[in-house]
Structure 1
Amino acid sequence: MSMFYAGRHRGPSHPSQVGKRAGATMVAVAAVSLGTATIGAQSATAAPSATSAATFSGLVKQGSRGTVVKQIQQKVGVSADGIFGSRTAYAVKRWQRSHGLTADGVVGPRTGTKMGLGSTTTRSSRTTASSTARTNFTGLVRQGSRGTVVKQVQRVVGVSADGIFGSGTAAAVKRWQRSHGLTADGVVGPRTGSAMGITGSTRSTTTTTSRSTTRTAVSSSGIINTAASLVGTPYVMGGTSPSTGFDCSGFTQYVFARNGKTLPRTAEQQRQATTRVSSPRVGDLVFFGAPAWHMGIYAGNGQMYDAGNSRVDTTKRAIWTSAVTYGRV
């Protein structure tokens, strides 16, 4: 007797054959499902490895040098000279603030990873100090010193290498000493000099140079010529050189140092270090306020050279108020 199946007449199947067919179908479905899950699992595990980024594990900060510093400088938009100076630190802080990071100006693991720096690219930066410590320095270099050894020191601490050990260099030396576990006195003696990798001995020449500097008369024409040559240098808070930018007292300190005279660092310190005059002449210092909150170099005819503020770079402009005093070095 025939049975009716889905509109067709079909002979009855043996129960064992029905079971075999059903079992085969279930096995096939399970195999397809298992294969799909396996492929999906493989895809899920493969995707992250294709897009994972290297984790930065270095530490790059003011005073560091090398190719990693150049990468950082390119990322934060400053000149990529490979020297991590104050301008680079300032730009790093801006970048950190804009990316929700602690704005300390130091490129550590978190900032470096965010910047996309590689995990193995900081070895030279992290070992810069130790790799240069290969000398037995026996000299003594400090504020007031000049010469090629001072230039070596300035290159290590990341300031303009003009060969004049002023207060800006002393401050940078102190920072370097603190970061390397040394006494932060701003003086490069045997221990600091050896750690920096400085070559040569300057104990005798340093004293002679300092004394001769004290006796050097300041040339007003030299002061004005130097000041004029720096017009256009960017204003940077704390800046003390053309390579990093100037603030007002950093500008005057640099100009006078280039003409053989060492001045203190701040505007008020410079006001106190000068002789007040009522009839200014070209090359005298102009002070705003007492204590001084701003200053410049008198250029004659009611004008001055100064590093203004974040909106006014180093320039020559009119003295806008009569409430000023003048000091002569």
Structure 2
Amino acid sequence: MKRAYIKGIDYHVPELFEKNSESDRITRKVGILKRPIANCDEYASDLAIAAAKKMLTKQNIDISTIDMLIYCTQSPDYILPTTACILQDALGLSTRCAAFDINLGCSGYVYGLSVAKAFIESGMANNILFLTSDTYSKYINPKDRSVRVLFGDGASATLVSGKESDRELIGPFVFGTDGTGKDNLIIKSGGLKEPITKQSEIEEEDSFGNIRSNRNLYMNGSEIFNFTLREIPLAVTKLLSISGMKIKDYNRFVFHQANKFMLENLRKILDISEERFSLNLENYGNTVSSSIPISLCKDLENKKASKEDTAMLVGFGVGYSWAACNIIL
């Protein structure tokens, strides 16, 4: 039976890094020492192109064989056209290549894998270039430390192809959505419902001394934390149930790299050993939809994961949106 699998994966981050104060209490709590930050004239699409070229070159892929491009971002170049169309042209892909965007944040990588799997295993595509990239730094007010110390910019490139296999190589999947949490991680101005006006630019200071306007990213950290600890253990339990597996059956757990405090709480609740649990945010921060693939790449580079390992991927965040799946590396 034809099964979708990850044929190649790589990542790219900007050259510029911003350091967090090592003596700061928040830095110690979140476990992030520095974060890659895009230059003022460097955009998410630029990072995605660099990640794609890096992966395609390493894997020696003939780009004429790519028949679909999926791009996951919340940092598009324009409202329209979709950035995927721009990437198709920039990468020199065939004009017979399908290309579309997915607007999702921290759950986006797992969602994107599910879409790629469906196209491959239905026979509608053979080789899918799945790109993720975000530049949340451009949405953050530099005077808002509640989010500035957390988010980094980055991109990933994954080639999803098909091959004959008796076992599932990507999946099964568990999904979840709770739109009641939309106001807890949001940029209020910039869409059609609340266009940018002079009012949007007015900066206000919260009770913690953080300053932002409605054009900036806002996060209610305590509510995001509560949501995560409420829903993610349930999602993992459901994935274990439908896959017939136990925690001990996995070689690697790669969760969205939100922050160290949150990840350590999840790890302990789920009783996952430290040596099998990915923690790769010290030098990258929260790179949104790219955090899972970047962490996966670091695990492979550092020999903490290897080919044929069974891994659980779990993404969660803005929306609220979450998703989990199994993969065979």
Q: Give the TM-score band, short-chain normalised.
A: under 0.3
TM-score of the two chains, using structure 1 as the length reference:
0.23
Give the structure with the higher percent strand: 2
Asked which structure has the greater CA Rg, the reply is 1
Give the structure with the higher percent helix: 1
- The one of the two structures with greater contact order (alpha-carbon pairs below 8 A, sep at least 6) is 2
